[in-house]
Amino acid sequence: MSNENTLFCANHPQTPTSLRCNRCEKPICTRCAVLTPTGYRCKECVRGQQKIFDTANWYDYPLAVIVAAVLSFIGSQIVPRMGFFALLLAPLAGVIIAETVRALIRRRRSRQLFTFTAAAAAIGSLPSLVSLLVIALAALSQGGLGVLLSLIWNLLYTVMVTTTVYTRLSGIQIGR
Ligand SMILES: [Zn+2]
Ligand SMILES: [Zn+2]
């Protein structure tokens, strides 16, 4: 067919293209096209779309972060002590934190806000994890390693006593 049908990118007039933004119908080249779940779109339309989805207010950030961190901290004081049930209770705690934050921000949304909230939940769980790690390291340096060493001495004793008794009785003399 003819060159009349050839489109040129709206942002790059030298670049021929066959793509159009499926929202504003502007011709776009492969450099300008963004693949979205609904097809190719220009960057301007994608940005506009994100603004619609990003409805969080500035105060939603400190609110979500503080609430998630505090709830996660409280959960970290309870859930790990439940032993096996922690496998069930930890996801439940996550759901409770997420739903509490969602209710507080009144279903306003922002991907960044969700990332911050998850990070806050992780940070909230850190104090109990770190304190436990300190206790574990202390136990290892005080008693834990000693137990391991006495285990080695016991093992060595068993091996030496057994071989010595055996060689003595059987009359095999080593080193003569
Ligand atoms: Zn567009
Ligand atoms: Zn372009």
Q: Is the pLDDT of residue 29 over 90?
A: yes
If you measure from the C-alpha of residue 30 to the centroid of ligand 2, how many angstroms do you get, rounded to a whole number? 7
Which pLDDT score is estimated for 1?
A: 41
pTM score, whole prediction: 0.55
First to last CA, the chain: 103
Average pLDDT, the chain: 80
Which ligand has the minimum distance to the alpha carbon of residue 9? 2
If you measure from the C-alpha of residue 46 to the centroid of ligand 1, how many angstroms do you get, rounded to a whole number? 7
Which ligand has the minimum distance to the alpha carbon of residue 32? 2
If you measure from the C-alpha of residue 4 to the centroid of ligand 1, how many angstroms do you get, rounded to a whole number? 22
If you measure from the C-alpha of residue 17 to the centroid of ligand 2, how many angstroms do you get, rounded to a whole number? 9
pLDDT tens for each residue of 115-141? 888 888 888 888 877 777 777 777 777
